[in-house]
Structure 1
Amino acid sequence: MGCQAPEPAPLLATIDLAVRFGGFEAVRDVSIAVGPRAVHAVIGPNGAGKTTLFNAISGFVKPMRGSIVFAGADVTDHAPDRLARLGLARSFQICSIFPNLTVGDNIRVALTRDLSGWQLLRRRGRSDGLDARLERVLREAGLENEGGRRAGDLSYGRRRLLEIVTTIALEPKLLLLDEPTAGLAREDVAPVIALIRKVATRCGVLLVEHNLSVVESLATRVTVLAGGAVLCEGPYREVARDARVIAAYIGTPRNA
Structure 2
Amino acid sequence: MENNAVDIISDLSGTGVNSPTYITPGITGSGYALKLIRNSHQYITISTFKSFASTSFTVEMWIYPTTLSNGNYYGLFTQYYTSSTDHSLIMLIRGVQLSIDFYNDGVTGTTSLTTYTWYHAAFVYDYPSKTQTVYLNGYQDASYVSNQPYLGTSGSINIGMYQDGGSYNYFDGYIDQVSLTMAAKSASDILNDATLASWHSFDCGITYDSGPNKLQGKAVDVTPASGKVKQGLQFSLSSSYYQVCRRLS
Instruction: Give TM class, smaller chain.
Output: under 0.3
TM-score of the two chains, using structure 2 as the length reference: 0.27
Q: As a proportion of its length, which structure holds more strand?
A: 2
Structure of higher RCO (CA pairs closer than 8 Å, 6+ residues apart): 1
